[in-house]
Each structure stands twice: as structure tokens, then as C-alpha cells.
Structure 1
Amino acid sequence: MAPSEKSRGGEAVVIPGGFAVLSLQFSADSGSQHKLYVKEHRVRVETRTHRPLDRTLFLLNVPPYCSQSTLSHIFSRFGAVVSVELSDRPGSAPAPEVKLSPLFKPAGKQGFKVGYVVFRRAKSIRLAKSHPHNVPLLVSTEQRLVTTGLQKWAQQYRQAIVSPEELQQSVDAFMLQYDQRKEEQAKEQEKEAEEQKEDEEGWVKVTRASKGTKARPHSEAANQKAIQKETRKKKRKELMNFYTWQHRNTQKEHIADLRKKFEEDKQRISLLRAQRKFRPY
């Protein structure tokens, strides 16, 4: 059960910006404290349903040794915690999800973060903001130990070691999914190629394009042909007639070729006329 405000000693401290100051102490034996700044999460453009504006507490200056489970345990003294979210910077945009196996996920960014704590009741927000700044919140207790420093590094190192059997199973599962995707793509391409083939009368089925665009066969093969055609066209134009004198010389050579062909055609025509002339003797 969450303690009431009157049962606590001291007063809450509120700094400019509406943030209340909470003191964090790593353990009962620690001599230093860390300041955590909290306030009620109220953003007009917030559209995410899992951050209700009346039950979400926004945290600043969250230390690296505080994980989601640790924050959930710390703030559970003010009321039941529904969820805890940590991020590198504040914002309503969702963090990009890395679709990788847990064995290949990169290590998270280390440093101070911002957090969002969602309570089950709105009363817990008021209790957390009114907590006295001179009464520190313990991070690591006998009931719930939090490792840090060399112990944390050794624990992460041991967890990073994967058995060959588990690694082989993960690789096999990934390759199986990859082969299935490739087979589906090949079947779709074959189906589109069959649809784009000409029938007996020479007609080709095309899809309806958007207004103002020219309809064309909608298939991967047709797209590849169009891309190859554009690439060849660009290569032909590449570095041709780059300078003015090159363009002028090209025009002169073209005119000379036309004149040469004209003279050859004149000689050919005169020869044909001479061969058709009537000669009685």
C-alpha cells in the first residue's frame, strides 16, 4: 500500500518547468544521491494509447543503471505500475523496431535517458510529485539487488555467450524463413509474367493506373525492362557533347555524312537510269 503524504517528512521541491525533484540513492550504504526530475506527462499531440495523459509520469535524467524493471519497482511505492518505457530522447514518435534475433541484436546505447511510467490510478502521479526531496528512493535493496560496474559487465558477458546448438537453431530458422520468402516472390513474379503474356490476338492485360498517368503492364519483369532501358539511354547520353566544340564537331560530321550519302544516292540513281535506257542496236 502506498504511504500517504502526511506520513512522510520534509517537503517536495518543484523547479521551473513544473518538474518535481526526486532523490535516488543506489543503496543504503551509498554516500551520494542522484536527482531525478518528474512531472505529469501532458502533450497535446500525444496519440499513443499506452501513454494516457492522466496516468503517465514523465522522467528526466534517468541514470544508466536504472532499467525498466528497476523503475517499476521504485515507483511501485506510489501505486500499481502498469508499464515503464525508456527512450534516448523525449517524443511521441515510436522508436524504430529492430527485427533481429535476440542473439544478434546490438547492445543498447548507454547513457542518461528519459522515461514514461504509467500508473493504474491517477492518484499515484500526485503522490510521486509530492514525495520529499530529502527522502531518497533506494535503487538496490536486499530484496531486489541491482548489479553495476564490474559485476554487471561480467553478467552481460556471460549472457552474451551463446551455445553452438542454440545459434545453429536460430540460423536454421532464419534461413527457412528466407527460403520461404524467396519462393513466394518467385511464384508472384511467375504469376505476373503469365498475366502479361500476349494472348492469341496479341492483346496484353494491363492494370488501371492513376489519373494522368499512362497505363502500362504492372509486373516485376516489365519494371526491370523499363529500368534497363532507361539505364542504357543514360549511358548513351553520358559525357556526349559535354562541351560546345564537341557539339559543333558532331553537327559537322553529321552534315558531312548526309552529303556523302546524297552523292552516293545520286550516282546510284544515274546508274539505274542508264541501265533502263532503250538501245535498239
Structure 2
Amino acid sequence: MAATYNGYTVLSLKFNENCTETFIFLKKHNVRDQSTETPKDRTLFIQGLPPYSSKELLKHVFEKFGKVHKIFLHSKLNVKVGDEDKTASKYFGDKSSGGFKVGYVVYQNESSVRRVLSHPVSQSLLLSSIKDKDQLNIGLVAMKQQYNESLIKKEELQKEIDEFMTEWDQKKSLEEEAAKNQTGEDGWEMVTKKGRNPGISRKESVNKQILSKERSKQSRKQLLNFYQFQIKESKMNHLESMRKKFEEDKQKIDLLKQSRRFKPF
């Protein structure tokens, strides 16, 4: 009987009968943004694949349930299917941590997916049943491969650098052409500065941002001026009230003098 956990079918994986089993988690691949590479009725999504897993290994393990059309293997979960294969670089970019992997197995028939999901967990899938033991990237074989891959080949490195720089130059050329032909909202052609220090590219989005900052500065300045005017007016009112009080006190003193009731001491 198939075992399930949190929506996944659980399968047992062993190197041979004498080894400890490891568990992998599978379910039918069904996402909102479906890719033509992974049709939902024929694709299995797998988590918890051991670090030594390879496409060849997965093909040998899962072909017992039906003809495998394609396999995708990724080192992390949040990668779009197939993207890691396309953008993989031997010398640059993020290096795989060598941890557990996620995979997608695409079958030619829907019935193969149903057979996998109904496979009992008590019947472990054995890797030792593979005829070509070189397919198993473990132990000494894995260490040899890791060492060989760590060696830098100058020709390969130079080729990768040249390809990157060619793509970069093409991208910059397209951006410059787009900047030349750009027009503003009022129909005028946008003029951009060139040279060793071209400064900010005056695209429409940049111009809008600059105008927005200028308006913000003006509003802050007006607000500051308003507060300064308010403070000045408050001081003037205070001085006026003090002057008025002084005049009133002076008149009182004069009245007291006239009435001979003024006694300062």
C-alpha cells in the first residue's frame, strides 16, 4: 500500500538490500502557470533526492514504471523548470551546495504516473539493480568527478568569458539605440549625454523621477518657509503685546502719581 505524508506519496530508496533506506516525496506536478515542458498529467514532482542523484540515475530508477520522456534536476526548489540547465556555468555563478535535490520526471503516458504514486513504501527501489555501475555517482567515483571538475581549462574559461562579453556588448548596443530613438510625452526627442562620463540616462522614467524629487523639494521648502513665517509672526505678536502692557503699566503709574498714592518703597 502506498504511504502518504502531507499530500506527498512516500517512496523508499536504497543502494542495496543491506543499506539503510532513504525516503523521497512525490506528487503529481500541478501548478497554476503550467509549462509545456512539464504537462501536469504526465509529470512527477520529487523532493528529497539524495545528493548523488543524477538524471541518468533517476531514469534507471523510474523507468520500471513506464517510458520516461524527460528529466529535470535542480539543486533548489525555487528555480523555474529547465532554467538551471540553461544558465548553468562551470566557472561563474552560484555553486551547488551538494545537498538534497528536487526533480521532475516526465513520462510518455499518464498511466506511468499512477503506477508510481500507488507503489507501496515497503518495496524499496534499489539502485544496485542498475547494470552500469558507473551511473552511480557516489564514493570514489564521485570524488574523482569532483576533482576533475574543479580543474580549470583555460580554453573553456576563455570561451565562456568571450560569450558573456559578446552578449553584454549586444545588450548595451540595444540600450543605446533605444535611448537615441526615445521621445518624451510632449513629442520632443530625448537628448542623452555621451562620453567617458555620460551621467544619468535621461529616459522618460528618469525624467519623471527627477521632476518628482524637485516637486518634493519645493513642497518641503514652502512648508519650511510657512513655519518660519509663522514663528516670525508669533514673535511680532508677543513683542506687540509686551509693548501694549508696558504702556498700560506706565499709564497706571502716572495715575497713581497724580493721586499721590504712588509709593515705590
Shorter-chain TM-score bucket reads: 0.5 to 0.7
SS at match of 1:31: coil
Q: 1:234 to 1:157 in 2, by over 3 A?
A: farther
Closer/same/farther in 2, CA of residues 182 and 35 from structure 1, 3 Å limit: closer
Counterpart in the other structure of 2:230: 248
Q: Does 1:77 align with 2:77?
A: no
Following superposition, the deviation at residue 131 of structure 1 comes to: 3.7
Query: 5 Å matches for 1:144-155?
Result: 144-145=133-134, 146-148=136-138, 151-155=141-145
The CA RMSD over aligned residues, in Å, is 4.0
Alignment of 1:165 with 2:147, yes or no, is no
Cα deviations across residues 199-239 of structure 1 (Å, max 9, x unaligned)? xxxxxxx66xxxxxxx5647464635554454455556668
Q: Any conservation in 2 of the 1:23–1:137 contact (CA below 8 Å)?
A: yes
Q: Displacement of 1:133 after TM fit?
A: 3.5
Aligned sequence identity (%): 28
**Does residue 160 of structure 2 align to residue 183 of structure 1?**
no
For 2:22, the equivalent position in structure 1 comes to 34
**1:123 partnered with 2:111:** yes
Cα distance in structure 2, aligned partners of 1:222 and 1:135: 64
Which structure is higher in helix share? Answer: 2
Contact 2:55–2:71, Cα closer than 8 Å, also in 1? yes
Give, in angstroms, the shift of residue 127 of structure 1: 3.1
Q: Aligned AA for 2:173?
A: E
Question: Does the 8 A contact of 1:241 with 1:247 survive in 2?
Answer: no
Structure 1 regions of 5+ residues with no counterpart?
1-11, 197-205, 208-214, 253-281
Alpha-carbon contact 1:57-1:118 (below 8 Å) kept:
yes
Question: Is the CA contact 2:29–2:44 (under 8 Å) kept in the aligned structure 1?
Answer: no
CA separation of 1:36 and 1:176: change in aligned 2, threshold 3 A: closer
2:80: which partner in 1? 94
Q: Give 1:188 deviation, angstroms.
A: 3.5
Specify the alignment match of 1:260 in structure 2.
none
> Equivalent residue of 1:61, what SS?
strand
- Paired residue for 1:55? 42
TM-score by length of 1: 0.59
> SS of the counterpart of 2:132?
coil
Give secondary structure in 2 for the equivalent of 1:15. strand
d(CA) in 1 for partners of 2:33, 2:46: 16
Partner letter of residue 72 of structure 2?
A: E
Number of paired residues? Answer: 219
Contact 1:61/1:113, CA 8 A, preserved across alignment: yes
1:64 and 2:33 matched? no
* 5+ long unaligned stretches in structure 2: 191-200, 235-265
Q: Hey, what's the Cα distance between the residues in 1 that align with 2:212 and 2:2?
A: 67
| 1:106-131 superposed Cα distances (whole Å, 9 cap, x missing partner) | 21254334433221122323432444
Equivalent residue letter for 1:94: K
**Scaled by the length of structure 2, what TM-score is found?**
0.62
1:186–1:60 distance in 2 versus 1, CA, 3 Å:
closer
